[in-house]
Structure 1
Amino acid sequence: MKVSFGTFLRSQFAKQPPVLKADLAGKTVIVLGANTGLGFEASKHFASMNPGRLILACRSQSKGEAALEKLKAATGYTKAELWLIDLSDFESVKRFADKFERDGGRLDILVENAALSIPKFQPTKDGWESSLYVNDLATPLLAFLLLPAMIKTAERYSVIPRIVVVASETHYWVTLDKKVLQSPNILKTMGSSEYCTKDTMANRYPLTKMINIFFVRAFNDRLPVSTPLVIDAVNPGLCKTELMRDVKGFMAMIFGTLMNVLAFTAEEGSRQLVYGAIAHPDKPDGLRGQYLSACRIFEVSDFILSPEGVKAQNRIWNELVEILGDFDPRVPAIVDQYLTRSDCLVRC
């Protein structure tokens, strides 16, 4: 599928469907990046559905505490919890997952909303380009480490938990270049200082969102049909959030104009996150591995569906499991226990 700029413009002027509602009594919801923007607005929606537990996963203690107070004031919900996590640090992700494992509770909905968009190379302490690390390494790491808790929840409570990964329609406008595809390791090449020039960083955010979709599709390909779990990717559209706060100068003026003219509010965009988490409760399997936008299923980009894209998707999956497994050996063990090799992986 191709999406032109004109199609994008029309979608931004379209009226957004109302937010879905469900009874979340007794259920546990985790929202990443919950102190602001899409994450906070989605948390407000979930709070109005009275979940047993609502965990706001935030990087900052002070901003997280402020979000808790705002949430309580806006919704009257008093059971929200602040848990700290820094997706620019694998150790922080591991501590978060370990805390949840010790907590021993159920996990019904995981909304992986936190994302980073920066205009130039900024390395993590491990030397990776930061937005790739946050969006495409740490985000899957948390999903893998929390997967056993979600499977146990499904078995114990006869429910179908969901993982929602926030993607973007910008994935339609990018592809992986030949240098990356011909390299021995796609992720390590993309995350290196040598590759991250000013020109390549210009498309970094949409490329990380495309890799988010690769992850969702590859995960779903390997998830046995009998496993009661749904993973999907959602597009909130262009929204007024703090995502582009690091963009400066002329580009900041352009983005500012686009935001003023075209952008949805964060609340409108958050409805897509809620949709991915609770839509079609009677037939949730229809959302397995899907890309959702405007509260319905859309076909992903032609590149993702192409033989070249499918091959890249499987390579990235294998690299991801290896990279994360080097940090935490539980990752390949979880993959071996709960996921399977897809036929496509063997062919490609």
Structure 2
Amino acid sequence: MKYSRLDFLIDQWSTLPPVETADLSGKTVLVVGANVGIGLEASKHFARMQPTRLIIACRSDAKGKAALAEIERETGYNGCESWIVDLANFASVTAFADKFEKEGGDLHILVMNAAVVLPDYQCTTDGWESMLQVNYLASSLLSLLLIPKLVAAGRKSLTPSRMVIVSSVTINWLIPAKEVKTSSKPLEMLGSEEWCTPKHIHSRYPESKLLNVFFVRALTDRLQAITPLSVVAVNPGFCYSQLRRFWYEKPTYSPVKIALAIMERLMAWTSEQGSRQLVFAAVSGQDNEENMKGGFVSYARLVEVTDFVLSDEGHRMQDTVWNETIDILKGVSDKIAPIVQDYLVNI
């Protein structure tokens, strides 16, 4: 799909439909990255649908408790729990998954919303560039580790569970560098400090969001046809949020900082409006589940993904990224290999 900047402007200035609603009684919903912005607003919408459990995953106990209080105050829902996970630390992710295995029960809706945007190269304690790890590798790790819980819930309820991965409209204007597209290990290249020059690091956020779409489509291709789980990517639109806070914390003005301020003033949605896209991806389309599988939700509708993703070149890169992702994550958790073997098929 060719999606121009004019299309983007038209969509941002269009009237959004009201938030989707569903009966979530008896369901467990997990929102990762829920203490601010669209994650918090999506959690409020889910709370109003009265799930049996709503778990919000945040980086710190203080932020989680503050979000918990706000959700209860604005919705009256008292079934919300705050759990801690730091996607910049693989050990925190595996510990969270272990806790969920013991205490979480079945999982019906997973929303992977946590992300960062950084203006320069930063390295995690695990040795990866921060945006690559938080936005893609750790999100993929947790998503895979929670597949058994999602599938179990789908089988018991006789309704497919949903895994929602938040992507971005920015993938529409990204073509990965030739060196990355042709690399046998594109993630290793993207994560190296040598590659992350100022020129390349400015593309990292849309690159990570493209990787999210690759993950959704590759996972969908490999899930067994009878598996009661739908994996969906979603573009929340351009919204006011704290996602770009690191840019605003810089003491000096820059062309990027000025451009972002102007764009926000002219066209940004509120966080609540953006959160409606996450909710749509999580609860809509249950009467035509096959269409949702591997789908890309944008502006409250399923749309075709970018031409690059659909191209032969995109398919080759998607498969290469998938194989490298699984190899990396097998080294992080010994549970990845059994999950891949038991729940996915080779293609």
TM-score (norm. length: structure 1): 0.96
- Amino acid corresponding to residue 241 of structure 2 in structure 1: T
The superposition leaves residues 24-78 of structure 1 with CA deviations (integer Å, 9 ceiling, x where unpaired) of 0010000011110000000000000000000010001111101111111100001
Aligned equivalents of 1:179, 1:212: Cα separation in 2: 20
Name the counterpart of 1:179.
179
Judge conservation of contact 2:90–2:126 (CA < 8 Å) in 1.
no
Aligned equivalents of 2:303, 2:285: Cα separation in 1: 16
Judge conservation of contact 2:3–2:172 (CA < 8 Å) in 1.
yes
The superposition leaves residues 258-317 of structure 1 with CA deviations (integer Å, 9 ceiling, x where unpaired) of 111110000000000000000022222210001111111111111111111100000000
Name the counterpart of 1:345.
none
Name the counterpart of 1:269.
274
Matched, 1:54 2:57: no
Q: Please give the secondary structure, in 2, of the residue aligned with 1:283.
A: helix
Aligned equivalents of 1:104, 1:309: Cα separation in 2: 36
Name the counterpart of 2:38.
38
Judge conservation of contact 1:127–1:192 (CA < 8 Å) in 2.
no
Judge conservation of contact 1:122–1:129 (CA < 8 Å) in 2.
yes
Q: How do 1:110-149 residues align onto structure 2 when only pairs under 5 Å count?
A: 110-149=110-149
Judge conservation of contact 2:237–2:274 (CA < 8 Å) in 1.
yes
Aligned equivalents of 1:58, 1:317: Cα separation in 2: 27
Judge conservation of contact 1:325–1:332 (CA < 8 Å) in 2.
yes
% identical equivalent positions: 46
Q: Please give the secondary structure, in 1, of the residue aligned with 2:6.
A: helix
How much does 1:157 deviate? 2.6
Judge conservation of contact 1:119–1:201 (CA < 8 Å) in 2.
yes
Aligned equivalents of 1:126, 1:103: Cα separation in 2: 27
Name the counterpart of 1:226.
226
- Amino acid corresponding to residue 79 of structure 2 in structure 1: K
Matched, 1:189 2:189: yes
Report which stretch shifted further, 313-322 or 222-231: 222-231
How much does 1:188 deviate? 0.6
Name the counterpart of 1:327.
332
Aligned equivalents of 2:297, 2:222: Cα separation in 1: 20
- Amino acid corresponding to residue 210 of structure 1 in structure 2: L
Aligned equivalents of 1:181, 1:106: Cα separation in 2: 38
How much does 1:224 deviate? 1.5
How much does 1:337 deviate? 0.7
How much does 1:327 deviate? 1.1
Judge conservation of contact 2:55–2:81 (CA < 8 Å) in 1.
yes
Judge conservation of contact 1:322–1:332 (CA < 8 Å) in 2.
no
Q: Please give the secondary structure, in 2, of the residue aligned with 1:23.
A: coil
How much does 1:104 deviate? 5.2
Name the counterpart of 1:307.
312
Aligned equivalents of 1:75, 1:116: Cα separation in 2: 27
- Amino acid corresponding to residue 326 of structure 1 in structure 2: G
Q: How do 1:3-18 residues align onto structure 2 when only pairs under 5 Å count?
A: 3-18=3-18
Q: How do 1:289-308 residues align onto structure 2 when only pairs under 5 Å count?
A: 289-308=294-313
Name the counterpart of 1:154.
154
How much does 1:182 deviate? 3.0
- Amino acid corresponding to residue 290 of structure 2 in structure 1: D
Aligned equivalents of 2:305, 2:286: Cα separation in 1: 23
Provide the aligned length of Structure 1 versus Structure 2. Answer: 342
Matched, 1:203 2:208: no
Q: Please give the secondary structure, in 2, of the residue aligned with 1:30.
A: strand
Judge conservation of contact 1:223–1:338 (CA < 8 Å) in 2.
yes
- Amino acid corresponding to residue 67 of structure 2 in structure 1: A
Name the counterpart of 1:26.
26
Judge conservation of contact 1:237–1:269 (CA < 8 Å) in 2.
yes
Name the counterpart of 2:293.
288
- Amino acid corresponding to residue 12 of structure 1 in structure 2: Q
Judge conservation of contact 2:87–2:138 (CA < 8 Å) in 1.
yes
Name the counterpart of 2:344.
339
- Amino acid corresponding to residue 60 of structure 1 in structure 2: S
Q: Give the alignment's Cα RMSD to 1 decimal.
A: 1.0
- Amino acid corresponding to residue 275 of structure 2 in structure 1: S
Q: Please give the secondary structure, in 2, of the residue aligned with 1:51.
A: coil
Change (3 A) 1:104 1:11: closer
Question: Which 4+ residue blocks in structure 1 deviate beyond 3 angstroms?
Answer: none
